[in-house]
Structure 1
Amino acid sequence: MQRFGFFSFVFFYGDSMKNKQLPMGEASRRRAFTLVELLVVIAIIGILVGLLLPAVQAAREAARRMSCSNNFKQIGLGIQNYHSTYKQNPVQSGGSYHDPGNRNLLSYMVGLTPFIEQQGLWEQISNPRAINHNGSTRTPPFPAMGPVPWDRNYTPWLTQVGTYRCPSDPATPPANFEGFTNYAACIGDGIASNNHSCFDQYGNEMGWCTPRRGSYNRGYFETRRVTKFRDILDGLSNTIACGEIVVDSNTLEVNATVVNRGSNASFFITPADCESTIDPLDPQFHLDGTNANNWGTSQRKGMRWTDGRPVLSSVTTIMPPNGVSCAYSGDGSDGMFTVGSRHPGGAHILMGDGAVTFISDSIEAGDKYANSPAWPVGSSTTSPGKKSPYGVWGALGTRASKEVIQEQLNQ
């Protein structure tokens, strides 16, 4: 009995307790939590939820960022296949001119549609269309390659292509509105005349600007002009083909807004002058009253995947990612259009060889007080072969300036 004394005690004590009746009030008190215990449990749960939510949000953004990158890879693959088929890149602000035509204003993304598994949409665009968006008969029909990009009677222009949208950007088109885009063509490190590259909307050469064209239209894409892989002398893996952008939701955010300079060309000479409208107390936004509202409801950055004008679907490599953007005047004018994103710390770029890289906001971008290439006439940067004054960032945006990129961008 001594050997099993402890267990015997437990057994007989427990057995005796079965027959012992506790007062009702005492039994109920033992079955309930005290207020202090309840508050402690609630506090612990609150702390755990508070620790968990940021991790969940970070995981969701990581998934969105990966999806965003995958879309860019599809675009890069589409450009490669386009070049294999036509022996040239798709034209940024291309198309045709006839009445009523698209005035050579279509973005590079229109020609890519059959190469990103949008064959049905491409067939609508590439053939005459005798029906309006509301179902009524169109007489005469829309011509092949469609009308101007802002014509809302043309159904293909109102179609949102999922591949052209980054899921991290929450902006969505309202009803009967053009489709948005977050992926823009890189037109280099120049400002002057980068809206037309010395071609008018009829496809005619502008004689006054042609002698200096090569000085400032130095990107993978040239507005209204054909480029080919053979033109990328710096190497496809060293040249940016496209950059990510943020859709302008009319909130004066610096990384989304293109400021209308109202014919003030001072930023052509010194790009830093474009920063004069940034709110010093809240540098992610422009000051109230900044001239950006006269672009119209759909003439803003990223608001039309079909529109090849720089304000809507082009980027330059002057200011680093998420920096300021501004244009001379009007939605079709030349200017400085900066890469941006909703991802923390930077934005994606697509290289000419199809590689997608995330570039930090802090990338070395040279001297923002330096003269923009080819402006003014006779400046040290006028020669087409001059290196970009905007550091590694500017060098990545030029196709044939012989810069050597020593950094490993994917590390």
Structure 2
Amino acid sequence: MSTKRFSRPAFTLVELLVVIAIIGVLVGLLLPAVQAAREAARRMSCSNNFKQIGLAIHNYHSAYKQLPVHGAGTRVVGNQGNGTPATSNNGLRLSFLVGITPFIEQQAIWEQISNPLDLDGDPLTTGDVYNAMGPTPWTAQYTPWLTDLPTFRCPSDPGVGLPSLGRTNYAACIGDGIWYNSIGGYQWRSGAWADWNNATHEEERALHTRAACRGFFVTRQAMKFRDILDGLSNTIAAGEIATDLGDRSIKTQHMNNPGGGSVLRDNPTHCRTASPGIDPARPQFWDGGVVEVASGQPGAGQLAKTVDRRGYRWADARPLFGCVTTILPPNTELCLTSNDGSDGTLAPSSQHQGGCHVLMGDGAVKFVTDSIEAGSSTNGTVHLNGGGGQAPGAMSPYGLWGALGTRAAKETIEEDF
């Protein structure tokens, strides 16, 4: 009886290794492309969110014949705003995002905000009801301020959860100035600050505001499209901001300017020269030697406490949380004259590569690169008592970037960006 042997075709070890190597190379080549495609999709989604905000601003203006006020809300004489139910008021600290919630299909949360809100469902006589328009925007017990609204979030930004409240990646543009931008058109202080409410100080503040607050939005002041004399398509209405990730990033954690307010006004890069300051080995982060305070107001040259970070409160109009300026180019350091409610350089920022989105007054969304022409960053900002390039009515000291942030400085925008 004969036995036949059958040979079966098979891969040799060398052939198998070659195939594995080829697959590895292909994966290595395709993975960056897949990641780039995903980021492109996230960036497009971010742009679409911003377009929705722009459309909401226009619809708001059509309905009320003015822009949503940045720095709106309630005020009670004798206190600066509190989070206590029954006596709650927000001290005119609500961002323009609060006003547009009904226009971005968030009617339910607007109803909660615009009416008294009882969180525990007890009868309204128990004294635990928040007044209409809510308490101060850092009140963690107030549900609307805790809510993350998808339209206000950029998909490229990974920031989530505590210690922030509801986050936002979009903030109002207040122009190319520092002086008086945190106060704007109305002084909410009272009590110990009652002298601010006398006629002399009211007039002085109005003069300072007209001279230095040159943006699309002016804090606590009703603005209209007719105020944008440079044209809606030439003026930035809002800018993108990255939210803080707890990594000492210079674009999401601010330094208290070691030189004081007027020094920063006359040299917006003053925090850049602080020692310790920016980490020379990692220029997108603060040096480890810079002290970070755990609570309270940071001292000169110190970083803010954990809860006072960029993008942490969508409902808060104060500069750190709700404003951008066109002084320093995108993704540069945050430097405030004092705490989160003070004036400062508030560059827009993002997690996109090379720049960030801005919303123009006409509703168009554009991507601005970090290298946009921005004049000399050491130039002083325009203010009431400034001279030369800092005098009221002067063209922006910050080139094309600054010109895009001013509403009525008569600059001619010829460059594409």
- 2:42 alignment partner in structure 1: 64
Give TM-score, length-normalised by structure 1: 0.88
Tell me the CA shift for residue 31 of structure 1: 3.6
Structure 1 residue 126 and structure 2 residue 104: aligned? no
Q: 2:105 & 2:315 partners in 1: Cα distance?
A: 17
Where in structure 2 are the equivalents of 1:11-22 lying within 5 Å?
A: 21-22=4-5
Give the CA deviation at 1:37. Answer: 1.5
Q: Does 1:251 align with 2:239?
A: no
CA distance in 2, matches of 1:301, 1:250: 10
Measured at CA, do residues 183 and 237 of structure 1 come closer, stay the same or move farther in structure 2, by a change above 3 Å? same
Q: Does 1:197 align with 2:184?
A: yes
Task: Note the C-alpha offset of 1:317.
Answer: 0.1
Distance 1:245 1:406, change over 3 A: same
Aligned ranges for residues 170-209 of structure 1 at < 5 Å?
Answer: 170-174=158-162, 178-197=165-184, 199-201=186-188, 206-209=202-205
The match for 2:301 is none
Q: Which residue of 2 aligns with 1:402?
A: 410
Query: How far does residue 286 in structure 1 lie from its aligned partner after superposition?
Result: 1.7
* Pairing 1:42–2:20 present: yes
Displacement after TM superposition at 1:32 (Å):
3.4
Using the alignment, how far apart are the partners of 2:291 and 2:336 within structure 1? 11
CA-to-partner distance for each residue in 1:270-302, whole Å, 9 max, x for gaps? 112232222222112121133555533332110
- Is structure 2 residue 99 aligned with structure 1 residue 104? no
What is the 5 A alignment of 1:318-397?
318-374=327-383, 377-397=385-405
SS at match of 1:184: strand
Contact 1:93 1:104 in 2 (8 A): yes
Quick check: 1:130–1:138 contact (8 Å CA) kept in 2?
Answer: no
Q: Which residue identity is paired with 1:55?
A: A
Quote the Cα distance in structure 2 between the aligned partners of 1:327 and 1:396. Answer: 22
1:12 alignment partner in structure 2: none
Greater Cα offset, 112-121 or 264-273: 264-273
Counting aligned pairs with the same residue, the percent is 53
Size of the alignment, in residue pairs? 384
| CA pair 49-268 structure 1, distance change in 2 beyond 3 A | same
Counterpart code for 1:21:
K
Question: How big is the shift at 1:140?
Answer: 4.4
Most deviating of 31-40 and 211-220: 31-40
TM-score, with length taken from structure 2? 0.87
Matching residue within 242, 255, 275 for 2:272:
275
Structure 1 letter corresponding to 2:269:
A
> Which of these two proteins has the greater Rg computed from alpha carbons?
1
Cα distance between partner residues in 2 of 1:189 and 1:33 = 69
The 1:133/1:77 distance shift into structure 2, 3 A limit, reads farther
Q: Tell me, in whole angstroms, the C-alpha distance in 1 between the residues paired with 2:292 and 2:239.
A: 22
Whether contact under 8 Å (1:133, 1:154) holds in the other structure is: no
The question of whether the paired residues in 1 share the 8 Å contact of 2:185 and 2:218 is answered with no
Instruction: Check the 8 A contact 2:170/2:240 in 1, yes or no.
Output: yes
> In the alignment, does 2:127 pair up with 1:144?
no
| Structure 2 CA distance for partners of 1:211 and 1:196, relative to 1, 3 Å | same
Q: Please give the per-residue CA displacement for 1:177-196, whole angstroms capped at 9, x wherever unaligned.
A: 51100000000000112111
User: CA 1:253 to 1:128, structure 2 compared with 1: closer, same or farther past 3 Å?
Assistant: same
Q: What is the Cα deviation at residue 213 of structure 1? A: 1.9
Measured in 1, the distance between the counterparts of 2:386 and 2:143 equals 48
Q: Distance in 2 between matches of 1:251 and 1:339?
A: 18
User: What is the identity, as a one-letter code, of the residue corresponding to 1:338?
Assistant: A
The amino acid across from 1:199 in the alignment is Y
C-alpha distance in structure 2 between counterparts of 1:71 and 1:159, whole Å:
17
Q: Does 1:167 align with 2:164?
A: no
Equivalent residues of 1:236, 1:353 under 8 A apart: yes
User: 1:304: how far off?
Assistant: 0.4
> What is the distance in 2 between the residues matched to 1:200 and 1:403?
30
The Cα of 1:129 is off from its aligned counterpart by 1.0
Cα RMSD (Å)? 2.3
Change (3 A) 1:145 1:47: same
**Which amino acid counterpart does residue 102 of structure 2 have in structure 1?**
P
Pair 1:228–1:138, CA change in 2 (3 A) = farther
C-alpha deviation, 1:139, in angstroms: 1.4
